[in-house]
Structures are given as C-alpha cells and as structure tokens.
C-alpha cells in the first residue's frame, strides 16, 4: 500500500509543485521556519508578499532577535493570528542565544524552542534538513483520511490514530520521506482540496478508499467554520492596525474610534494586552511591545 502511494504522489509533485520561495535552496532553514509560522491558517497568496519583506529585513534569526517584539507584530501586517509574530520573535531570540544564530537541525532542539509545536518542528526538520518525520498539517490529514481511511474529512483535532498512520506510511529512506511529506501536502493543497476536489487530476485516484467507496458524506462532528465579521478577532485586528501604523504611543481615544461597541472593544483590547501584543502605558496610552 505505502509504495503504491509514494511513487505516484512524488512523481506528481515533481511535475506540478509550485515554485515557492521557501522551497528554494537559498531559503535555508530560517526561510522554511518563517514560512511555516506564516502559513498556519493563512493562504499562500497572502503570505508571499509579507514573507519576502520579512526575509529582506531579517535574513537571519539574529537580525530579528535584535528588534523589539513589537516590530515583528508590525511587520506581520494583516496576516492574522498575530501571536504567531511574537512566537517567531521568541524563537529567533532562543536560536540566537542557544544555537549561535543557526536554526537547529535536531528535532528535539527544534521542539524545545518557544512557539514551536510538534507540527512545526517536524516540518522544519523535514523540509529544511531532509529528515524523516511525519508532517501532519490539514492538507496531509485530508489526503490520508480520504486515500487510506476512506472518509471525507479528518477529525477536527489530530488524533493518535492519525499520527500512527502517518508514521506507518513514512518511506524508510530519509530523502524520500522528506519528499513524500512535501508532496502529500501539495496534493492536499492543489488537488485533494476541502471542497471541489479534483479527483480527475489525482495521481492516486484509482486506489483512493474514499472515492472507491462512492465518496460517502462526512459523518463526524460538524466541521468548524471560520467566522470573522463582528467577532473579537475582527476588533483585535482593527485595534492592532492603528498601533501598527503609529510610531508613537496611541491615546485611548484613537483606539475607541475603531469599533462602536465599547464592551467588546474593551474586551478585545484587554485580550491584546494579556497576549503581550499591546503594551499599556501611563496616561491611557498604548503601543506595540518593546520587550
């Protein structure tokens, strides 16, 4: 089963992989790490311009580590989930202090960095260093759910069974395993998509358990939607936008103008302060964090 999956998916990837800057050799491990932080819950087309600007400004972890964390939040722009910017800054500081400014190659050392979870550690070790690790993002999980398990969608949260399956499916050879990780992810992004899947273009359609079963409808818990309008996330984004544009502390009155509902606005601002994304100052002033 595993051999029948690996060869056609990797061959498809060789022919159809997108030319993305973090896949080029010159990106290095730092470029791969930056891309992995930015691509969490954010599509490639939104990440590309911010990624290019980020690497031009901070080509090495030490360059970012020298800056205030608020500058990372400012440069993050409208990518969303800005705590990722703080985590990436924290990882850059740790890499500079613990590893001489070079992104470590060992999975355990990657996992020990602040803001790095199991997925990101495996992705950097695999994509940057060609190591053999199961890399389970949403796209890979969907491909495995359909091709092997025979269901339309994976569970809402990654399960032990999924991790076990991903390990069992890993090619033995390190370089092939790393290629399989990238190829299965790209297949999920471009062909085996959440909606309007392109089975006619899929290199493993003939052996896909879900397709062979007649594409049964999803039977699990309802899938989480991505609501935004009117949420605290939207208010937080509007507050941060004001602070990103300002290069001096901002008065409360300027923040009050971004949202009409005072209770929700205050809750969103309190949340930003609690998350370390905004620093309150005496006199009712606010700024992006300096420490």
**Residues annotated as catalytic (active site), given as ranges:** 36
Phi/psi of residue 196, nearest 5 degrees: 55, 50
Separation of alpha carbons 269 and 279, rounded Å: 10
Q: Tell me the two tokens of residue 139.
A: 């796209």
Q: Tell me the two tokens of residue 34.
A: 């930056």
The residue whose two tokens read 């080509």 is: 59
Separation of alpha carbons 125 and 70, rounded Å: 28
CB 131 within 8 A of CB 158: no
Separation of alpha carbons 108 and 97, rounded Å: 17
CB 181 within 8 A of CB 120: no
DSSP string for residues in 167-185: HHHS-SSHHHHHHHHHHHH
CA proximity to 146, closest of 66, 249, 217: 217
Separation of alpha carbons 50 and 44, rounded Å: 10
Separation of alpha carbons 246 and 266, rounded Å: 20
**82-119 as b/e: b if 16+ CB within 10 A:** bebbbbbbbbbbbbbeebeeebbeebebbbebebbebb
Q: Tell me the two tokens of residue 57.
A: 């400004």
> Within 231-261, where are the H helices?
232-245, 252-256
């Amino acid at each position: 089963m595993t051999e029948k999956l690996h060869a056609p998916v990797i061959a498809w990837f060789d022919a159809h992989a997108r030319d993305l800057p973090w896949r080029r050799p010159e990106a290095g491990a730092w470029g791969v790490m930056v891309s992995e932080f930015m691509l969490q819950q954010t599509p490639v087309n939104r990440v590309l311009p911010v990624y290019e600007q980020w690497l031009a400004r901070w080509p090495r972890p030490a360059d970012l580590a020298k800056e205030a964390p608020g500058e990372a939040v400012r440069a993050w722009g409208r990518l969303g989930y800005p705590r990722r910017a703080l985590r990436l800054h924290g990882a850059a500081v740790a890499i500079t202090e613990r590893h001489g400014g070079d992104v470590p190659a060992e999975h355990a050392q990657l996992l020990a960095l602040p803001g790095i979870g199991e997925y990101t550690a495996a992705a950097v070790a695999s994509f940057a260093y060609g190591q053999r690790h199961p890399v389970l993002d949403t796209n890979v999980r969907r491909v495995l759910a359909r091709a092997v398990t025979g269901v339309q969608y994976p569970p809402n949260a990654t399960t032990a069974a999924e991790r076990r399956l991903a390990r069992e499916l890993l090619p033995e050879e390190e370089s092939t395993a790393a290629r399989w990780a990238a190829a299965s992810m790209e297949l999920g992004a471009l062909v085996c998509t959440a909606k309007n899947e392109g089975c006619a273009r899929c290199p493993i359609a003939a052996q896909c358990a879900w397709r062979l079963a007649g594409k049964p409808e999803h039977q699990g818990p309802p899938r989480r939607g991505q609501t935004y309008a009117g949420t605290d996330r939207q208010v937080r984004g509007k507050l941060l936008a004001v602070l990103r544009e300002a290069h001096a502390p901002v008065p409360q009155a300027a923040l009050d103008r971004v949202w009409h509902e005072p209770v929700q606005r205050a809750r969103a601002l309190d949340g930003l302060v609690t998350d370390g994304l905004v620093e309150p100052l005496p006199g009712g002033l606010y700024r992006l964090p300096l420490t």
